[in-house]
Amino acid sequence: MSDGLEGVIAVHTCLSDVDGENGRLILRGHLIEEIAGRMDFAEVVHLLWRDVVPEVDGMTAADVGTALGAHRQRAFERLVPLLAHAGGLTITEGLRFLLSALGDGESDTPGLYVTAAAPVITAALVRMRAGDEPIAPKASNEHAADFLRMLTGKPPTPESVTALNAYWATVADHGMNASTFTGRVIASTKAGVISSVVGALCALKGPLHGGAPGPVLDMLDDIGNAENADVWIAAELAKGERLMGFGHRIYKVRDPRADVLKVAARSLKSGANRIPLAEAVEARVLAYLKAHKPGRRLDTNVEFYTALVLEALALPREAFTPVFACARTAGWVAHCYEQISEGRLIRPLSAYTGPMPEVAHAQV
Ligand code: ACO
């Protein structure tokens, strides 16, 4: 038995490979550096889903973009009337609540439906928190561009669209992470695509998984100036706190997505402004972690520069996890179909550590 299933291979997948020793991420035969910044979201979905998700059989990447647009409209009509019921929830909880309102049998294209619904709901919830009315999608728009337009009501800049697409490409799929595993367990029971995605989202919500970028910005704000970094870092480590945006179960070297995201952050004005402080803090954190946790091989993970990209896109911190989920839904859907077509019910064993019944009772 391995605590946290560390080192255990749980499934076969053709979708992505995370090589933690060499800092390499492959999506269906392509290094992440070949994809991020070059493919838009529909192209990434097409790459991940073709020959795996029957919903896109025979479609080109352009067809997938068109289908996502039609499904965004459908999701807006179906879910926006329910927005008011998400009033007291965080944006992540609101997304979870509204996605779970979709029935598993409601659509014969549940993967497209839920992938298109996530940004529609996220944008509407962000606006609702600011007291603004939701903005309807435009089916003919590119997916990331339409999300940014639904957030602000204004056409986004080309740099913003490229940066968001680069971010979404880096997080669309990533091996057997906690949320994807959760989704596959649910899919293995044949519960349905929507149920699998909702369960996966619940796992993504935790700060050890998809909830880290907001706290990364809190850390940069608290430190404020590179000269304060040493004192701040030492105090946090002395309290036993984890430094957000660092460490990874699989990567024992720098997460390859960190540099891709640094480039994306640099392409946006406010992201570029943050980079000098972020780089200084990153260097000091790495030095402290090396000294404080010798032999642990803790390095920068995806969430550190993600935080800069999402902040530069003017997204509120509370929306960071839902925006992550908008892309990871594509991975969850692909894993769900892969599990259904190839996998068995996932049902491991447990090692019982409780008391045994007394013999006299056992005989009765
Ligand atoms: N800061 C300080 N210490 C750390 C950190 C960190 N960020 N990460 C790990 N450690 C320490 C642990 O305290 C532990 O020390 P110990 O052995 O003396 O008790 C040691 O390094 C090993 O850590 P584990 O908990 O075994 O590592 P695990 O593989 O379980 O954790 C995780 C990986 C959860 C990502 C962890 O590194 C962490 O909490 N990081 C901060 C949160 C974060 O950035 N999450 C985003 C991850 S990326 C993603 O999911 C999309």
Catalytic residue among 46, 71, 143, 248: 248
Please compute the mean of the pLDDT values over residues 263-275 and round it to a whole number: 91
Give φ, ψ of 123 to 5 degrees.
-60, -45
Q: pTM (2 decimals)?
A: 0.94
What pLDDT sits at residue 343?
81
Long-range (24+ apart) CB contacts under 8 A made by 280-286 are: 280/226, 280/229, 281/219, 281/220, 281/223, 281/226, 281/229, 281/233, 284/226, 284/229, 284/230, 284/233, 285/229, 285/233, 285/243, 285/246, 286/246
- Which three-class secondary structure state does DSSP give residue 112? helix
What pLDDT sits at residue 332?
98
Please compute the mean of the pLDDT values over residues 5-34 and round it to a whole number: 96
pLDDT at residue 359 above 80?
no
Please compute the mean of the pLDDT values over residues 245-255 and round it to a whole number: 92
DSSP element (H, E) containing 24? strand 24-27
The 10s digit of each residue's pLDDT in 220-234 is 999 999 999 999 999
Q: In this structure, what token pair is assigned to residue 205?
A: 């919500």
Residue 303 annotated in active site: yes
What pLDDT sits at residue 339?
97
* Burial class of residue 254 (count of CB atoms within 10 Å of its CB; 0-12, 13-18, 19+): middle
Catalytic residue among 236, 282, 303, 338: 303
Mutate to test the pocket of ligand 1, among 5, 171, 173, 208 (most ligand atoms within 8 A of CB): 208
Burial 138-168 (b: 16+ CB within 10 A, else e): ebebbbbbbbbbbbbeeebeeebbbbbbbbb
Ligand 1 geometric centre to CA of 241 (Å): 10
Ligand 1 geometric centre to CA of 178 (Å): 14
The 10s digit of each residue's pLDDT in 163-209 is 999 999 999 999 999 999 999 999 999 999 999 999 999 999 998 88
What pLDDT sits at residue 212?
79
Ligand 1 geometric centre to CA of 208 (Å): 8
Question: What are the beta bridge partners of residue 246?
Answer: 300
What pLDDT sits at residue 287?
96
pLDDT at residue 350 above 70?
yes
Please report which confidence band the pLDDT of residue 113 belongs to, taking 50, 70 and 90 as the band edges.
very high
Q: pLDDT averaged over the chain?
A: 95
The total of other beta-carbon atoms located within 10 Å of residue 102's CB is 22
pLDDT at residue 322 above 90?
yes
Identity of the residue numbered 126: V
Residue written as token pair 């002395």: 238
Ligand 1 geometric centre to CA of 60 (Å): 40
What pLDDT sits at residue 210?
86
Please report which confidence band the pLDDT of residue 361 belongs to, taking 50, 70 and 90 as the band edges.
low
Please compute the mean of the pLDDT values over residues 326-333 and round it to a whole number: 98
Tell the residue nearest (CA) to atom 13 of ligand 1: 242
Q: In this structure, what token pair is assigned to residue 110?
A: 């549940």
Please compute the mean of the pLDDT values over residues 256-272 and round it to a whole number: 92
Alpha-carbon distance of 44 to 46, in angstroms, equals 5
The total of other beta-carbon atoms located within 10 Å of residue 241's CB is 12
CA 196 to chain centre: 15
What pLDDT sits at residue 151?
98
Residue list, ligand 1 pocket, CB within 6 Å: 4, 208-210, 212, 242-249, 293, 296, 298, 301-303
Tell the residue nearest (CA) to atom 40 of ligand 1: 247
Mutate to test the pocket of ligand 1, among 3, 236, 293 (most ligand atoms within 8 A of CB): 293
pLDDT at residue 7 above 80?
yes
Ligand 1 geometric centre to CA of 298 (Å): 8
Identity of the residue numbered 108: D
Give φ, ψ of 281 to 5 degrees.
-65, -45
Tell the residue nearest (CA) to atom 8 of ligand 1: 247
pLDDT at residue 358 above 60?
yes
Identity of the residue numbered 65: G
What pLDDT sits at residue 360?
65
The total of other beta-carbon atoms located within 10 Å of residue 61's CB is 17
Please compute the mean of the pLDDT values over residues 254-267 and round it to a whole number: 94
Please report which confidence band the pLDDT of residue 211 belongs to, taking 50, 70 and 90 as the band edges.
confident
What pLDDT sits at residue 208?
86
Identity of the residue numbered 184: R
CA–CA distance from 14 to each of 74, 85, 175, 318, 331 (Å)? 30, 39, 10, 33, 11
